[in-house]
Amino acid sequence: MSEKKVSVLAGFKAFLMRGNVVDLAVAVVIGAAFTNIVNSVVKGIIGPLVGAVGTKNLDVYATCLKEPCGVDGAGNPTGVNLLWGSVLNATLTFLITAAVVYFLMVLPMSKYLARQEDRRKAREGVQEIVEITELEVLKEIRDHLVTQREGGTGSHRAPVAD
Question: Across-strand partners of 63?
Answer: 82
Q: Would you say residue 84 lies in a domain?
A: yes
In a domain, 141, yes or no: no
- The CATH number linked to 74 is 1.10.1200.120
Q: Is 18 part of any domain?
A: yes
Residuewise pLDDT in 10s, the chain (162 residues): 555 566 888 888 777 777 677 778 888 888 888 888 877 877 787 767 777 877 667 777 888 888 888 778 887 878 888 888 888 888 887 887 788 778 877 899 889 999 999 998 888 776 666 667 778 888 889 999 999 988 755 545 555 555
Range of the structural domain that residue 37 is part of: 2-125
- Residue 154 in any domain: the answer is no
Does residue 16 lie in a domain region?
yes
Residue 24: burial class (beta carbons within 10 Å; 0-12, 13-18, 19+): exposed
CA 10 to chain centre: 31
Tell me, yes or no, whether 58 lies in a domain.
Answer: yes
- The reply to whether 140 falls in a domain is no
pTM, entire model: 0.48
Q: Is residue 25 part of a domain?
A: yes
What's the structural domain count of the chain?
A: 1
